[in-house]
């Protein structure tokens, strides 16, 4: 491109900001509508506008039936690759549509119709995707809950969503163990105030569960007498799914995604961001319990007509650190998306990337990383070993797709390690101070997106409209608060530095330290506690608990710590990776009583920090520093 010439990306981005209705109308023409929208954007819907408000469509139709009608029914839609069970199974678009339609009919037989909720508590098996698409087909709202969550967390989601049915499986399979799901599910239903009418269970051959006669039925029995269901017409703004994400209070927030904007945006992103199209094989190594799984295992690739890979395995250990390269080679993956944590794990096991040499990666073009900040060391290692572009991009459960990305479909921009590159089309980003004033380039502040948010962003929070506004829009009027801090450089590149609340990122999973503190506080011997997120070379961050004991606690400190760790494991789940805790005599606080979590985190991470002028007692901070040294953190600089 000659000097001064405007790139294709720049043209697209400028139009998306200056004339968003024209830009997204054009994108909307790539999908099928039962009723074409005439009102592309309604900015009067507070606080952030709504897209395609008078249009009607069906997401399942666009993900499956549309491609069959276009003559692509024999194309491979889904590849299930499970090294933990030694199974590989492929579904064409027609085969997947038939399975989905039958499951949708089974849900209808259970009395589930448009607007009803269905919780899906499942491992990474084809039935999980089939269940999600079946809900979309009949207008039921699905809420997928990650199988690693404990009963108490599942119960909270049951009470919030009030599902008419739950779809689950007898077990999940890890590298060296089988996790029985039904005891966890039964306990969750016992705890929950709301009781679902039915539980449909996929009985896996590795472990079969005993079913309750008055409530449960097997997947096979549910589908045996079902009649395939057709797609129902839904308003663009009808909810497609609820996906729970951690809130700063420790209470989960049910992010609601719409049908119309979601379908338009994800279809657009597959080509624009990931540079894949009809017939290409795309793989996101994530889990359907997280937004990456929703957007880029299930909906995005199928909407575009790509082949998607559903992987039931790990980056290492199934069977070795070459697992990812084997999948890419076997299935001719063009674009691959995973979390930086996975690459840190591979690098730890195979620092010279010797396994890469065993596989044919000639079809592989692009590696995308997201879910947490991609550290430059990991990015540069991956680039060197793969000899492929390694692209960091930044987005959130709430946004559904990239806020900032290097949009490969328009031609890659130069890569800057540590940056997810430029704001994506539809996103006008500013760095703001506390007064909601834009900061100059290079200065760190709150990263915020100017309203309206682009299509595909969250519609609302489930039955919490006031919390929706206070959580995301009240602090910076006219903007969406990402709750991430960072800066934008002179070239417009975005640098995301840290969270501005208490959400920590453990191996790509956003978890609330406040929620962990609530669990620790339940222990009889815990008077007060604080959980901080500490940098970890493998997982990105890990939680560390600092515990003040009640007066008169008689147990050994080591016993209390073990009990606290087990408590978090039981209440939140192993996904929290809560393995480190220590007893302290007091927690450092300001005079107003605010615990200095941020200061303690900087001490633990050996970062520069300033002792706050409002600190109540510096000696308490010094004692905490000694304790952190004792558990292998901090180099003592207080």
Summarised one tens digit per residue, pLDDT across range 279-305 is: 999 999 999 988 999 999 999 999 999
Report the run of H or E that residue 118 belongs to, with start and end: strand 117-121
Dump pLDDT digits (tens) for 535-566.
888 888 899 999 988 777 889 999 999 999 99
Q: Is 600 inside a domain boundary? A: yes
Dump pLDDT digits (tens) for 394-438.
999 999 999 999 999 999 999 998 899 999 999 999 999 989 999
- Do 570 and 455 sit in the same domain of this protein? no
CA-to-CA distance for 416 and 394, rounded, in angstroms?
14
Q: Give the pTM.
A: 0.84
Contact 106, 222 (CB under 8 A): yes
pLDDT at residue 613 greater than cutoff 60 = no
- Do 563 and 599 sit in the same domain of this protein? yes
Return the pLDDT at 184.
Answer: 94
Domain count of the fold of the chain: 2
Q: What is the DSSP letter of 337?
A: E
Confidence category of residue 611, pLDDT binned at 50, 70, 90? confident
Contact 274, 297 (CB under 8 A): no
Confidence category of residue 1, pLDDT binned at 50, 70, 90? very low
The neighbour count for residue 350, using CB atoms within 10 Å, is 17
CA-to-CA distance for 142 and 409, rounded, in angstroms?
31
Is the bond preceding residue 319 a cis peptide, omega within 30 degrees? yes
Contact 157, 244 (CB under 8 A): yes
CA-to-CA distance for 367 and 326, rounded, in angstroms?
15
- Do 36 and 71 sit in the same domain of this protein? yes
Return the pLDDT at 353.
Answer: 92
Confidence category of residue 592, pLDDT binned at 50, 70, 90? very low
* Percent of the chain predicted with pLDDT > 90: 70
CA-to-CA distance for 490 and 416, rounded, in angstroms?
13
Q: Is 537 inside a domain boundary? A: yes
- Bigger pLDDT: 515 vs 167: 167
- Do 153 and 286 sit in the same domain of this protein? yes
Confidence category of residue 489, pLDDT binned at 50, 70, 90? very high
| Domain CATH for 449 | 3.40.50.12780
pLDDT at residue 500 greater than cutoff 80 = no
Q: Is 531 inside a domain boundary? A: yes
Q: Is 320 inside a domain boundary? A: no
- Do 558 and 413 sit in the same domain of this protein? no
- Bigger pLDDT: 152 vs 21: 21
Three-class DSSP category at 513: helix
Q: Give the β-pairing of 50-51 and 41-42.
A: antiparallel
- Do 422 and 570 sit in the same domain of this protein? no
- Do 164 and 15 sit in the same domain of this protein? yes
Return the pLDDT at 552.
Answer: 77
Strand blocks (E) in 183-287: 198-202, 216-218, 234-235, 239-245, 253-258, 281-284
- Which of 484, 517, 551 marks a domain boundary? 484
- Do 476 and 589 sit in the same domain of this protein? no
Return the pLDDT at 616.
Answer: 66
Confidence category of residue 638, pLDDT binned at 50, 70, 90? low
User: Smallest Cα–Cα separation from 547: which of 582, 512, 502?
Assistant: 582
Return the pLDDT at 2.
Answer: 44
Return the pLDDT at 56.
Answer: 98
- Do 27 and 166 sit in the same domain of this protein? yes
Dihedral angle, C-alpha 76, 80, 228, 62, nearest 10 °: -50
Counting Cβ atoms within 10 Å, is residue 335 exposed (0-12), middle (13-18) or buried (19+)? Answer: buried
- Do 132 and 23 sit in the same domain of this protein? yes
Return the pLDDT at 614.
Answer: 52
User: Smallest Cα–Cα separation from 263: which of 24, 3, 9, 88?
Assistant: 24
Output the average pLDDT for the chain: 91
The neighbour count for residue 274, using CB atoms within 10 Å, is 30
Contact 14, 8 (CB under 8 A): no
Confidence category of residue 622, pLDDT binned at 50, 70, 90? confident
| Domain CATH for 577 | 3.30.300.30
The neighbour count for residue 576, using CB atoms within 10 Å, is 26
pLDDT at residue 514 greater than cutoff 80 = no
CA separation, residue 502 to residues 150, 247, 469, 522, 597 (Å): 21, 9, 19, 19, 9
- Bigger pLDDT: 306 vs 634: 306
Q: Give the β-pairing of 253-258 and 87-92.
A: unpaired
Contact 505, 541 (CB under 8 A): yes
The neighbour count for residue 184, using CB atoms within 10 Å, is 22
Q: Worst-scoring range by mean pLDDT, 2-6, 49-53, 409-413?
A: 2-6
Average pLDDT of the residues in 165-192: 94
Return the pLDDT at 148.
Answer: 62
- Do 130 and 233 sit in the same domain of this protein? yes
Q: Is 340 inside a domain boundary? A: no
- Do 256 and 143 sit in the same domain of this protein? yes
Return the pLDDT at 13.
Answer: 98
Q: Is 364 inside a domain boundary? A: no
Residue numbers of the domain that contains 566:
506-630
Average pLDDT of the residues in 368-391: 88
Return the pLDDT at 298.
Answer: 98
Return the pLDDT at 443.
Answer: 87
pLDDT at residue 491 greater than cutoff 70 = yes
CA-to-CA distance for 302 and 394, rounded, in angstroms?
22
Q: Worst-scoring range by mean pLDDT, 17-26, 284-293, 330-339?
A: 284-293
């Amino acid at each position: 491109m000659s000097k001064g010439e405007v790139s294709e990306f720049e043209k697209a981005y400028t139009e998306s900001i200056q004339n968003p209705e024209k830009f997204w109308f054009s994108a909307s023409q790539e999908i099928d509508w039962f009723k074409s929208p005439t009102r592309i954007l309604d900015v009067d819907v507070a606080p952030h506008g709504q897209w395609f408000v008078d249009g009607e469509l069906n997401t399942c139709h666009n993900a499956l039936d549309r491609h069959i009608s276009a003559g692509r029914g024999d194309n491979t839609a889904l590849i299930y690759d499970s090294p933990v069970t030694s199974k590989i199974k492929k579904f064409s678009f027609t085969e997947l549509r038939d399975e989905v339609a039958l499951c949708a009919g089974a849900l209808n037989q259970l009395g589930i119709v448009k607007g009803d909720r269905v919780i899906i508590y499942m491992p990474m098996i084809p039935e999980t995707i089939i269940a999600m698409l079946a809900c979309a087909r009949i207008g039921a709202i699905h809420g997928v809950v990650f199988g690693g969550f404990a009963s108490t967390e599942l119960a909270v989601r049951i009470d919030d969503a009030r599902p008419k049915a739950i779809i689950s499986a007898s077990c999940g399979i890890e590298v060296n163990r089988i996790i029985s799901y039904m005891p966890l599910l039964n306990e969750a239903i016992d705890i929950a105030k709301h009781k679902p009418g039915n539980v449909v269970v996929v009985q896996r051959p590795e472990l079969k569960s005993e079913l309750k006669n008055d409530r449960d039925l097997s997947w096979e029995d549910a589908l045996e007498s079902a009649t395939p269901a057709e797609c129902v017409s839904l308003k663009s703004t009808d909810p497609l799914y609820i996906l729970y994400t951690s809130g700063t209070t420790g209470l989960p927030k049910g992010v609601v995604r719409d049908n119309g904007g979601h379908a338009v945006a994800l279809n657009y992103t597959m080509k624009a961001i990931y540079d894949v199209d009809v017939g290409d094989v795309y793989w996101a190594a994530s889990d359907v319990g997280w937004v990456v799984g929703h957007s880029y295992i299930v909906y995005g690739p199928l909407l575009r007509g790509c082949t998607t890979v559903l992987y039931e395995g790990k980056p290492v250990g199934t069977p070795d650190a070459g697992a990812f390269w084997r999948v890419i080679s076997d299935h001719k993956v063009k674009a691959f998306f995973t979390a930086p944590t996975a690459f840190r794990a591979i690098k730890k096991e195979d620092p010279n990337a010797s396994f890469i040499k065993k596989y044919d990666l000639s079809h592989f073009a692009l590696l995308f990383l997201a879910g947490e900040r991609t550290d430059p060391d990991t990015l540069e290692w991956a680039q060197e070993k793969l000899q492929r572009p390694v692209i960091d991009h930044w987005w959130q459960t709430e946004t559904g797709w990239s806020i900032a990305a290097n949009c490969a479909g328009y031609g890659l921009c130069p890569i800057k390690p540590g940056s997810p590159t430029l704001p994506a089309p539809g996103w006008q980003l500013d760095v703001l101070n506390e007064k909601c004033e834009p900061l100059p380039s290079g200065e760190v502040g709150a990263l915020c997106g100017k309203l309206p948010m682009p299509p595909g962003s969250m519609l609302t929070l489930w039955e919490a409209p006031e919390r929706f506004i206070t959580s995301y829009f009240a602090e910076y009027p006219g903007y969406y608060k990402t709750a991430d801090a960072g800066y934008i450089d002179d070239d417009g590149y975005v640098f995301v530095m840290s969270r501005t609340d208490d959400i920590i990122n453990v191996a790509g999973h956003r978890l609330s330290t406040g929620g962990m503190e609530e669990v620790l506080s339940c222990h009889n011997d815990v008077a007060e506690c604080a959980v901080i997120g500490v940098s970890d070379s493998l997982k990105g961050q890990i939680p560390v608990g600092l515990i003040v004991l009640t007066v008169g606690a008689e147990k050994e400190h080591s016993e209390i710590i073990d009990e606290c760790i087990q408590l978090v494991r039981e209440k939140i789940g192993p996904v929290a990776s809560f393995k480190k805790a220590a007893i302290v005599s007091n927690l450092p606080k300001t005079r107003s009583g605010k615990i200095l979590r941020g200061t303690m985190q900087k001490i633990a991470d050996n970062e520069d920090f300033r002792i706050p002028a409002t600190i109540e007692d510096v000696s308490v901070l010094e004692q905490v520093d000694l304790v952190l040294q004792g558990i292998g953190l901090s180099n003592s600089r207080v």
